[in-house]
Chains A and B, each alone.
Chain A
Amino acid sequence: MMIKGYEVVVGLEVHAELNTKTKIYCSCRNSFGLEVNTQVCPICLGMPGTLPTLNEKVVEYAIKMGHALNCKINRICKQDRKNYFYPDLPKSYQISQADIPLCADGYLDVIMDGGEVKRIGVERIHIEEDAGKLLHSDKFDGSLVDFNRCGVPLIEIVSRPDMRGSDEAKAYLETIRSILKYIDISDCKMQEGSIRCDVNVSVHKPGEPFGTRCEMKNVNSFSAAVRGIDYEANRQIEILESGGTVVQETRRWDDQKGISVSMRTKEDAQDYRYFPEPDLLTIVVPHEKVDELKRTLPELPNAKIMRYVRDYGLSHYDAAMIVDVVEKSAFFEKCIEAGCNAPKLLSNWILGEISKFMNDGTAIEETKLTPEKMSELIGLIDSGKISTAAGKTVFDIIVKEDADIQKIIEEKGLAQVSDDSALEAIADDVLKANEKSVSDYLNGKTNALGYLVGQCMKASKGRANPGKMKEIILSKING
């Protein structure tokens, strides 16, 4: 993406909260949205004398992500302290990783809207602890500290400056989120802050070296990342165009106002005084464990999309839509397993009717719908045994109750009538009652045919096979 003759260079640091049962360094529950300061213990409050113990699942989850992003796994590594004072950081240092991250030197292939593949380098993935939250109120002179989030495990995924604009950044972020969900290590709820990012942006003329970069903090959604990158690129280009120079600095993105403001320049950059965490010893993950985590990695979203296109003939767009939601893709695959052999029709139903109730907040498993029933229903529609409209009636029932599809069809009389003599009788009645339309059709008004078929369908209460009905009417009119 070029803006006014400049190339935009973007690097991203994504922080994702892991969905382990307990926090990274203590046995407190790792859960969001509970009452303030109820998910805390002496350890995550940094009380004098307390010590951290590293949660093994955090290491495993981070390695899984490392495998998913094709990283080298540093199975022998350590943790370091990052020292800074802030009220939401009880120990006044964050336990993180400095020179030896758990995973390094990987890449991620993202599929752009046009279908072309772009490879983005991943510099590192490391584990660290989250901080608490400051709460503010205009009515209150002071800030309140809620420590519940202290010690929630995070992975930080640092990309290389390989993205060339906000479109690639967006595709990268969406792919990262999708992977996190597929390997089931993060809930990825943007609004709950479980995935956040810092954005690095610079601009330069093609052929020239990279420009000075600015880091933007407080980017709390993917759409904010897009807006922030575009804003920042334009800001830098304007400076350069008017003969100025870009200053290396940290800026804060204000999404409401749509602007970034300077937080601090390179000169007063913080000195974090990193050093090895003396309360923890070496992290040593056995070779077998590293291999096992790779072996048990599920199929990743990009591979899935490509397989759906290749094996099931779905459009790239539909495949991506299904894959985007783990539950939808799991249901899709279970239906195929249950014998559904009309994948495109199945995909339409998943993106249509099933998505409708899921968007209202109902999970598939909360309904009575099973892959077996869905496959049966799709089969009946696909073979013309029932109409799409009748299918919808059946669907609405099997979502709500554990009912036998054949029985529903019988009881509600939903079976399509394909029997020639019955259809012919209906056609005769309709043609007799609509002679005007027949003559219209014969005079070249072809859309009169649709009207006639519609009347037949109505007369059959929707049960007539529309294809067959059309054939019969045509043969009768054309004599």
Chain B
Amino acid sequence: MKLYEYSAYELSEMLRAKKISSRELTESVLCRAEEVDGKVNAYIYTDREMSLKMADRADHLIASGKAASRLAGIPVGIKDNISTKGIPTTCASKMLENYVPVFNATVMDKLADAGCVISGKLNMDEFAMGSSTENSYFKTTRNPFDNDCVPGGSSGGSAAAVACGEAVIALGSDTGGSIRQPASLCGVVGLKPTYGSVSRYGLVAFASSLDQIGVFGRCVRDAALLQDEIQGHDSMDATSAHRSYPSLYDGLNDDISGLKIGIPSEYYERGVKPGVTEAVMRSVKELEKRGAKVIPISLPSTKYALSAYYIIACAEASSNLARFDGVKYGYRAKDCDGLIDMYERTRSEGFGREVKRRIMLGTFVLSSGYFDAYYKKAKLLQKRIQQEFDDAFNSVDVIVTPTSPSEAFKIGERVLDPLAMYAADICTVTVNIAGLPAVSVPCGYSESGLPYGMQIIGRKFDEQTILNAALAHECSFGGFRKPAI
């Protein structure tokens, strides 16, 4: 077994026992990336020298016994919408093609303090808008299980890199499913934590009230390890939650006897492929065998969630992305004839089609005369959806649904049909709207060998319970299955 194939928690032990060095491990991961990234297109940016320098620093830290973190020396891939000081952060957009931040996101400071190695910046849909990573200005990432299929999105680069060993673990961001859906399509574990549990400072905003940084790993333990490192209150983010954040990794326990699992009928209806439903139900049965209790529940407003989601997300995006105007940073159109010409051409040339569409949709729903009909209505629906979850969690501990209504689809298949593309988020957006934590775990494979994912949703700040359920499932289902790339 090559070093890049090990799990982070195993590598952590090996590093601490000085059986391997971070340099060896980093070399292994970078070599793997060189070997397969021509096919997968997961990375936008790598810098071998930079990564190895970090690895040497980590080795030094470990050797001197000063490495407090379990992640010291472990290479982590970073989604390219997370601000990295001195390292390009493009959001996969022409707009930020040459942008090099002068500051670190809080999560990057935390990883640096832990002694992590950055393996590179990962591809995504432009400004995290999309469900296939086809909206990247630079390249389309491919699904490691089938190179003709999408890896999902928007954190498609993160999911694909972890799946094929180009990264041990990775950071992503999730606004409507952008961690869980690609995790599902690439057969890895993806955790979208509770809103407020990970600082958003330095995450380039798509929809501020829904965005959340989260993690990818090939197993539940790895996801827990990385989440341990990045969670916690941050005074730089006013929406960050004041509370204690005990170690999830230390709290992992696969004993789920007595766990009450809610199955909401609405998530198994319209458009969910039978194969997906069967795989999820099979896994739920296994959990039942381990002592869990299954309770049918109803979340009736689910059918409106996608609408509410697109209104809120696009409204916020139209404002968040207004700062890309060619004045202070990023792309500026050439030979401008006055200010308005500079604004319009900069933004029309710098943004891709999906981003422009969402900006316009957001502008429209906030514009004079339409606010009440769209934005206000969506916010009221959000409240109702939150209430329905609150009520459900009075009788169950976790809610289990499919992550995505189907396995990975073909590249190009949905590009011209935004509504078909948006449908990929149908099972995941409610979680962002309600600010809840959810994890996606692989739970089966299609006939053609493409992964299916199961989503486990928990109460606010109850990551431990969903990770424990995920771990129990992992024990029954078996671990990560390697793609044949």
- Direct A–B touching, Cβ under 8 Å: yes
* Chain A residues proximal to chain B, CB less than 8 Å: 42, 45-54, 81, 83, 85, 87, 90-93, 145, 147, 271, 273-275, 278-281
Partner of A93, one of B103, B238, B319, B327: B319
Hey, which chain A residues are within 8 Å of B237, CB to CB? Answer: 51, 53
Q: B261 on the interface (CB 8 Å rule)?
A: no
Please encode chain B, from 85 to 124, with 1 for each CB lying within 8 Å of some chain A CB and 0 for all others: 0000101000010010111010000000000000000000
Q: Could you name 7 residue pairs across A and B whose Cβ atoms are closer than 8 Å?
A: A42-B103, A49-B81, A49-B89, A87-B325, A90-B328, A275-B315, A275-B371
Q: B448 on the interface (CB 8 Å rule)?
A: no
Q: Distance (Å) between the CB of A330 and the closest chain B CB?
A: 37
Q: B316 on the interface (CB 8 Å rule)?
A: yes
Instruction: Flag if B201 contacts A50 (CB, 8 Å).
Output: yes
Partner of A47, one of B101, B239, B316, B371: B101
Instruction: Flag if A85 contacts B201 (CB, 8 Å).
Output: no
CA distance A92 to B317 in the complex (A): 12
Instruction: Flag if B236 contacts A281 (CB, 8 Å).
Output: no
Q: B204 on the interface (CB 8 Å rule)?
A: yes
CA distance A91 to B339 in the complex (A): 16
Q: Name the CB-closest residue of B to A269.
A: B368
Q: B46 on the interface (CB 8 Å rule)?
A: no
| Given contacts A273-B366, A275-B366, A48 and B325 within 8 Å (CB-CB) | no
Q: Name the CB-closest residue of B to A280.
A: B238
Q: B54 on the interface (CB 8 Å rule)?
A: no
Instruction: Flag if A85 contacts B343 (CB, 8 Å).
Output: yes
CA distance A377 to B21 in the complex (A): 84
CA distance A274 to B327 in the complex (A): 23
Instruction: Flag if B204 contacts A48 (CB, 8 Å).
Output: yes
Partner of B319, one of A45, A49, A54, A83: A83
Hey, which chain A residues are within 8 Å of B143, CB to CB? Answer: none
Hey, which chain B residues are within 8 Å of A54, CB to CB? Answer: 238
Instruction: Flag if B327 contacts A145 (CB, 8 Å).
Output: yes
CA distance A279 to B207 in the complex (A): 10
Hey, which chain A residues are within 8 Å of B208, CB to CB? Answer: 278-279
Instruction: Flag if B368 contacts A271 (CB, 8 Å).
Output: yes
CA distance A91 to B316 in the complex (A): 13
CA distance A48 to B235 in the complex (A): 18
Q: B209 on the interface (CB 8 Å rule)?
A: yes
| Given contacts A53-B238, A85-B322, A275-B319, A48 and B200 within 8 Å (CB-CB) | no
Q: B83 on the interface (CB 8 Å rule)?
A: yes
Instruction: Flag if A47 contacts B236 (CB, 8 Å).
Output: no
Q: Distance (Å) between the CB of A374 and the closest chain B CB?
A: 48
Q: B367 on the interface (CB 8 Å rule)?
A: yes
CA distance A52 to B236 in the complex (A): 8
Hey, which chain B residues are within 8 Å of A92, CB to CB? Answer: 319, 322-323, 325
Shortest Cβ-Cβ A-B pairs, 5 listed: A92-B322, A273-B366, A278-B208, A278-B209, A48-B204
Instruction: Flag if B319 contacts A48 (CB, 8 Å).
Output: no
Instruction: Flag if A48 contacts B238 (CB, 8 Å).
Output: no
Partner of A279, one of B235, B238, B325, B363: B238
CA distance A275 to B96 in the complex (A): 26
Partner of A52, one of B238, B316, B323, B339: B238
Q: Name the CB-closest residue of B to A54.
A: B238
Q: Distance (Å) between the CB of A43 and the closest chain B CB?
A: 9
Extra contacts, 4 of them, besides A273-B363, A279-B205 (Cβ < 8 A), are A46-B328, A49-B81, A51-B239, A278-B316
